[in-house]
Each structure stands twice: as C-alpha cells, then as structure tokens.
Chain A
Amino acid sequence: MESQQGQVKVTQNDGVAVVEFEDRKILEEISIAQIGETLSDVVQSVPNVKIVLSFRNVEHLSSAALGMLINLRNQVQKVSGKLMLSNIRPQIYEVFKITQLYKLFEIHDTAAQAIHQMSAGDSTED
C-alpha cells in the first residue's frame, strides 16, 4: 500500500512504514515543519509503529532537519515504536557523524536491511 503525503511517500512493507522523501531533496528549514507534521501523522497511525526513513532522494539537509529527526525519534519512543534510517549517502552521513547523531539513530545501507532488522528484532522479542 502506498500513499503520497505532500513531500513524503509512505509505503507499507511487512508491517513497516517505509517513508521516502520526495523531490530529490533538500530538507531545509522552510519545508521541515510540514514534513514533521506528516511524519507525526505516520507515528500516530498505528500502535507500536515501525518506521524506516529512507534518505534515498536526499542530497542536502540542514540542522532543522536534524531537529525534526530528533523530535520524530522522541515521538516514536513514546509510543514504544521503532525508527530506523536508511540509504544515507556519504555526504549526508558526514553530517550525522559531525553532530554525533549517528549514535542516536540506527542506520542501515538500505531500507530492505532495516526492514529485515525490524523483523529480526520482533522474532527475538517473541
């Protein structure tokens, strides 16, 4: 199942919401608030939500985007959900390294790997 919600595309895959940023693109201050609201809706959509945030199309991001990610992480934790990031190109990953935020997020090379890890985590908990 797939839905387009403004600047993000949400696909359901094996109980995991895979969220892809549209438009290339550019997570900049001017669009962050709207994207944050959309992602909040995804968090609230199901109990114990599982989200993989794919940065496949992201070529640039600002500190505002990092703030949005932290807020998202906090929201997901509040509902006992899981959040992973994927498809972060090296230039963007460098931003996570400089700000030490790679320590806060579980990051995978691909969305498929992240989804697999989510499922493996569920199996361990059962």
Chain B
Amino acid sequence: MNNDLEADCPPLECLVIENTLVAAKEPERLILEAVEKHGFSNDATFAIRLGLEEALTNAIKHGNAGDPSKKITVKYYVGPDQFIVCIEDEGPGFRPARVPDCTDDARIGLPDGRGIMLMEAYLDDIRYSERGNKIRLIKKNN
C-alpha cells in the first residue's frame, strides 16, 4: 500500500507538480531552503540535493515516461535531525531489484542507469511502494 511509506513520518508538506524538469525545480528549491535553514551539514545537503535530483528525474522520465499530462506528488519533511521525501509518479511502477548493476564491466561504459546507485549510496534510507511508483528517501543531519 502506498500510504505505508508515510505511516511513520511526521506531518509532510505536499506539492503536486507538472511532469517536467522545470517544475521539479520548485520542490527542490523549497526543500533546499528548509535544509539550509535547519543547518544541515554540507555533506548532508549535497546528498539531499543529489537524491532529490535523481528521484525526481526518474519519476519524470521513467515513472511518468515523460508524459506531460501526468503529475508528480512530492511530500516532504525537513526538521533539525532529518529530511524525508516521498515522490510518487502516476506510472505503472517498476521493480528496483531488476535494475542492472551499472558498475558491471559490460555496463560501465553506458551513459545511463546510475541514479538508483547514487541514491542508495548517499541517502540513509530508501524504500519503494509495492507497486514501485513511489519512493521515500531519508537523510539524517550529520
């Protein structure tokens, strides 16, 4: 169930945006402003910015397949200790476990497929809904 990802979260701000990279700038801006206001470390801020960029780009390009008629829902919390975001697209979902290893010799020279690896490396917790069209990212303020 999609709502499981939000079940143990503090109250989340909510934005619904158009399915474009330009529209994605608004939640990024709001979140990064809040992150700065709460004094997140430089490393944590870097990680949050990277994770947001990757998750939103994936939702726009892959989840919603670039369809401009679709929407993306962004729900987020920024507090002194942690940042949480849930990003949901209107696509059919996917299976994260089926994404090939981009560091494999056969794939390392390919231009795509690194977004999930980077999110996993930089965020403290990543979860997907059962359908795979919603992701929750958590980053602690270290």
Check B103 against A99 for contact (C-beta < 8 Å). Answer: yes
For the complex, is B115 an interface residue (Cβ under 8 Å from A)?
yes
The answer to whether A103 touches B54, judged by C-beta atoms less than 8 angstroms apart, is no
Q: Which residues of A contact B7 (CB under 8 A)?
A: none
User: Which residue of chain A is the closest to B119 with respect to CB atoms?
Assistant: A63
Assess the B50–A62 pair: CB atoms within 8 A: yes
Per-residue 0/1 for A95-116: is the Cβ within 8 Å of any B Cβ (1 yes, 0 no)? 1001111011000000000000
Given contacts A29-B57, A30-B21, A98-B117, contact A60 B109 (CB under 8 A): no
| Docked pose: A95 CA to B49 CA in angstroms | 13
Q: Are B109 and A66 in contact (CB under 8 A)?
A: no
Does A64 sit at the interface, judged by CB under 8 A?
A: yes
Interface of A is mostly: helix
| 0 or 1 for each of A11-27: is its CB under 8 Å from B? (1 = yes) | 00000000000000000
- CB contacts (< 8 Å) of B108 on chain A: these are 100-101, 103-104
Enumerate B46-95 residues with CB–CB distance to A below 8 Å: 46, 49-50, 53-54, 57
Number of interface residues of A (CB under 8 A): 21
Is B110 located at the chain interface by the 8 A CB criterion? Answer: yes
Q: Does B36 contact A (CB under 8 A)?
A: no
Chain B residue nearest in CB terms to A29: B57
Number of residue pairs A-B, CB distance < 8 angstroms: 53
List the A residue with the shortest CB-CB distance to B57.
A29
Is B111 interfacial (CB-CB < 8 Å)?
yes
* Known contacts A68-B111, A70-B109, A99-B118; is-contact A91 B43 (Cβ 8 Å): yes
Flag if B111 contacts A29 (CB, 8 Å).
Answer: no
Cross-chain contact of B57 among A64, A95, A100, A104 (Cβ < 8 A): A64
A37 within 8 Å of B (CB atoms):
no
Interface flag for A41 (CB, 8 Å): no
Write out the residue numbers on chain B whose beta carbons fall within 8 Å of the beta carbon of A30. Answer: 21-22, 25
B114: interface (CB < 8 Å): yes
Contact of B121 (CB < 8 Å), options: A29, A60, A62, A98:
A98
The CA-CA distance from A66 to B108 in the complex, in Å, is 11
8 interchain pairs, CB-CB under 8 A: A28-B53, A30-B25, A66-B114, A70-B110, A95-B50, A100-B108, A103-B108, A104-B108
Binding site for B on A (CB under 8 A): 28-30, 60, 62-64, 66-68, 70-71, 74, 91, 95, 98-101, 103-104
- By a beta-carbon cutoff of 8 Å, the part of chain B in contact with chain A is 21-22, 25, 42-43, 46, 49-50, 53-54, 57, 102-103, 108-115, 117-118, 121
